[in-house]
Structure 1
Amino acid sequence: MNGTADITLVRAGTFAVLGAEGGITGRRGTSPDGLFRRDARHLSLWSLTVDGAAPTVLVPPGGDEPSVCVLTPPGTRDEPPAYTVFREQALGDGVLTERLRLVSNRADNTTAIVNLCVDSDFADQFELRSDGRHYNKDGARRTVRVESDGVTFGYARGDWLSRTTVTTAPAPAAVAPLGAEGTAHRLEWQLSLAGHGTAELLLTVAAHPHGSPAPKPLVTPSEAASVGAADTAAFVGEVQLPMPDDSPAGLAAACARGLADLATLRVPTIGPDGEELRVPGAGVPWFLTLFGRDSLLTSHFALPYRPELAADTLAALAATQGSRYDADRGEQPGRIVHEIRHGELAHFRQVPYGRYYGSVDATPLFLVLLDSYTQATSESTLAARLEPHARAAIAWMFRDGGLEDDGYLRYTPDPNGLVNQNWKDSAGAICFRNGTQAEGPIAVAEAQGYAYDALVRTARLSREVWNDPGWADELDAAAAALRTRFLRDFWMPEPDFPALALDGQGRQVDSLASDAGHLLWSGILDRSHAQRVGRRLLQPDFFSGWAIRTLAAGQPGYHPLSYHRGTCWPHDNAIILLGLARCGLAPEARTLALSLLEAAAHHDNRLPEVMAGYGRAEHPKPLPYPHSCTPQAWAAATPLAILTALLHADGST
Structure 2
Amino acid sequence: MRDRQAGRPPRQPWLHELSIVVNGNATALSDRSGDMESGTAHGWFVDDRRVLSRLVLEVDGERPSPVAGRASGATGAYSTSARSLGDAGADPTVQVVRERRLAPGSLHETVTVASSAACTVRCVLRLRFAGDGADIASVKSGHLDAPPLPARLDGDGVSWSDEWHRTTVTVDAAATSYDNDADGALVDVPVVVEPGAATSVTLVVRVERVQPSAFDADPGADAVDWSRVRVVADDPRLGPTLQQSLADLQHLLLHDPAAPEDVFLAAGTPWYLTLFGRDSLWAARLTLPLGTDVALGTLRTLARRQGRTHDPVTGEAPGKIPHELRRHVYLDTTTGMALPQVYYGTVDATALWVSVLAEAVDWGLDPAHVHELTPALRAAVGWLTGDGQPDEDGLLKYLDTTGAGLANQGWKDSGDSIRWRDGHVADAPIALVEAQAYAVAALDGAARLYGLLGIDGADTLVTQADRLRGRLRDRFWVDTDAGHHLAIALDGAGHAVDGLASNMGHVLGTGSLRADEAALVAATVTGDELLDEFGVRTFGTGNGGFNPIGYHTGSIWTHDTAIVAVNLARDGFVDHAVRVARSLLASSDAFGRRWPELYSGVAFAGAPTPYPASCRPQAWSAASAIALLTVALGLRPDATTRTLHLRPARAFGALRVEGLQFAGGRVDLQVGPGGEVTVLRAPDGVRVEVDVTPGS
TM-score norm. by structure 2 comes to 0.81
Letter in 1 for 2:38: G
**How far apart are 1:166 and its partner, in Å?**
0.5
Report the alpha carbon displacement of residue 103 of structure 1 after superposing the two structures with TM: 5.1
Give the superposition deviation at 1:378. Answer: 5.3
Structure 2 residue corresponding to 1:369, chosen from 325, 336, 356: 356
Is the Cα contact below 8 Å between 2:599 and 2:614 reproduced in 1? yes
Deviations 1:438-458 (A, max 9, x none): 121110100000011111111
Match of 2:447 among 452, 455, 459: 459
1:578 offset after TM fit, Å? 1.8
Task: Give secondary structure in 2 for the equivalent of 1:392.
Answer: helix
Within 1, Cα distance between the matches of 2:534 and 2:115? 50
Counterpart for residue 221 of structure 1: none
TM-score by length of 1: 0.86
1:7 aligns with 2:19: yes
Residue 402 (str. 1) matches residue 389 (str. 2): yes
Q: Matched residues in 1 for 2:261 and 2:358: separation?
A: 23
Shift of 1:515: 0.3
2:126 to 115, 122, 129: 115
Whether 1:125 and 2:136 are equivalent positions in the alignment is: yes
Structure 2 matches for 1:31-46, cutoff 5 A?
A: 32-46=41-55
Aligned to 1:522: 510
Q: Distance in 1 between matches of 2:468 and 2:584?
A: 33
Alpha-carbon contact 1:36-1:42 (below 8 Å) kept? yes
2:337 and 2:405 in contact (8 A); partners too? no
Q: Distance in 1 between matches of 2:460 and 2:46?
A: 46
Is 2:435 the partner of 1:447?
A: yes
- Partner of 2:532: helix, strand, or coil? coil
Deviation at 1:362, TM superposition (A): 0.6
- Native 8 Å contact 1:149 1:172 kept in 2: no
Q: 1:334 aligns with which of 319, 323, 342?
A: 319
Instruction: Kindly indicate whether the alpha-carbon contact (under 8 Å) linking 2:491 and 2:497 is maintained by their aligned counterparts in 1.
Output: yes
Matched, 1:320 2:305: yes
Specify the alignment match of 1:606 in structure 2: 594
Partners of 1:415 and 1:350 in 2: CA distance: 8
Instruction: List aligned pairs for 1:3-152, cutoff 5 A.
Output: 5-28=17-40, 32-57=41-66, 59-63=67-71, 65=75, 67-72=77-82, 74=84, 77=88, 84-102=95-113, 112-132=123-143, 142-152=149-159
1:200-215 map, 5 Å:
200-209=200-209, 210-211=211-212
- Distance in 2, matches of 1:55 and 1:559, equals 40
Residues 520-542 of structure 1: per-residue CA shift (max 9 Å, x gap):
12121111101111011111111
C-alpha distance after superposition, 1:306-332 (max 9, x if no partner): 321111111111122222333332222
> In 2, distance between residues paired with 1:41 and 1:269?
22
**Structure 2: distance between partners of 1:387 and 1:633:** 27
Tell me the amino acid that sits aligned with residue 371 of structure 1: A
In 2, the alpha carbon distance for the partners of 1:652 and 1:506 equals: 41
SS in 2 for 1:282: coil
Aligned partner letter, 1:165:
T
SS at match of 2:628: helix
| Deviation (angstroms), 1:44 | 0.4
What are the residue-to-residue correspondences of 1:633-652 with 2, within 5 Å?
A: 633-648=619-634
Determine whether 1:167 maps to 2:170: yes
From the superposition, tell whether residues 416 and 531 of structure 1 become closer, same or farther in structure 2 (CA, over 3 Å).
same
Kept in 1, the 8 Å contact 2:70–2:76? The answer is: no
CA distance in 1 between partners of 2:145 and 2:435 (Å): 35
Change (3 A) 1:100 1:652: closer
Number of residue pairs aligned between Structure 1 and Structure 2:
614
Separation in 2, partners of 1:315, 1:165: 35
Distance 2:543 2:367 in 1: 47
Q: CA 1:16 to 1:95, structure 2 compared with 1: closer, same or farther past 3 Å?
A: same
CA deviation map 1:610-650 (0-9, x unaligned):
12143x6x863222222222211111111211221232289
Q: Out of 276, 280, 300, which is 1:295 matched to?
A: 280
Structure 1: give runs of 5+ residues left out of the alignment: 217-223
| Percent identical | 32
TM-superposed deviation, 1:79: 11
Q: Distance in 1 between matches of 2:176 and 2:621?
A: 47
Query: Take 2:533 and 2:196, find their aligned partners in 1: how far apart are those partners?
Result: 55
Whichever residue aligns with residue 294 of structure 1, its letter is D
- Structure 2 counterpart SS, 1:86: strand
Is the contact between residue 329 and residue 341 of structure 2 (CA under 8 Å) also seen in structure 1? no
Deviation at 1:263, TM superposition (A): 1.4
2:261 matches 1:276: yes
Q: Which amino acid aligns with 1:168?
A: V
**Deviation at 1:80?**
9.0
Select the residue among 254, 264, 284 that pairs with 2:241: 254
The verdict on how the C-alpha distance between 1:404 and 1:247 changes in structure 2, with shifts beyond 3 A counting, is farther
Cα shift at 1:83: 5.7
1:374: how far off?
1.2
Q: CA deviation at 1:370?
A: 0.7
Rounded Cα–Cα distance in structure 1 between residues aligned with 2:160 and 2:50 = 12
**Letter of the aligned partner of 2:317 in structure 1?**
Q
Verify: 1:424 aligned to 2:412, yes or no.
yes
Using a 3 Å threshold, how does the CA distance of structure 1 residues 198 and 462 change in structure 2: closer, same or farther? Answer: closer
Partner of 1:220: none
> Does residue 1:155 correspond to 2:138, yes or no?
no
1:498 maps to 2:483: no
Cα distance change, pair 188–453 in 1 and its aligned pair in 2 (3 A): same
Query: Among residues 205, 218, 226, which one is paired with 1:236 in the alignment?
Result: 226
Structure ranking higher in helix proportion: 1
Structure 1: which amino acid aligns with 2:538? T
Higher strand share: 2
Between the aligned partners of 1:605 and 1:82, the Cα distance in structure 2 is: 31
CA distance in 2, matches of 1:45, 1:536: 49
**Aligned counterparts of 2:272 and 2:625: Cα–Cα separation in 1:** 21
Q: CA deviation at 1:238?
A: 3.6
Residue 627 in 1 paired to residue 613 in 2? yes
What CA distance in whole angstroms lies between the structure 2 residues aligned with 1:171 and 1:249?
A: 47
- The answer to which of 531-540 and 318-327 deviates more is 318-327
Q: Secondary structure at the match of 1:622?
A: strand
> Where does residue 563 of structure 2 map in the other structure?
575
Distance 1:103 1:619 in 2: 35
Tell me how far 1:556 sits from its aligned partner.
0.9
Cα distance, 1:145–1:134 mapped onto 2, change above 3 Å? closer
Give the secondary structure class of the aligned counterpart of 2:151.
Answer: strand
Structure 2 equivalent of residue 510 of structure 1: 498
Q: Which amino acid aligns with 1:593?
A: A
- Partner of 1:304, secondary structure, is helix
Provide, for residues 536-594 of structure 1, a one-character-per-residue CA deviation record: whole Å limited to 9, x for no partner.
Answer: 11111111122121111121121111110111112111221122112221111111122
CA distance in 2, matches of 1:649, 1:587: 15
Query: Which residue identity is paired with 1:339?
Result: E
**What's the RMSD between the two structures over aligned residues?**
3.4
> Following the alignment from structure 2 to structure 1, what is the Cα–Cα distance between the partners of residues 399 and 217?
41
Give 1:305's match in structure 2, choosing from 290, 307, 313: 290
Q: Is the 8 A contact 2:69 2:76 kept in 1?
A: no
1:590 and 1:78 map into 2 onto residues whose CA distance is: 53
State the distance in 2 between where 1:362 and 1:214 align.
Answer: 22
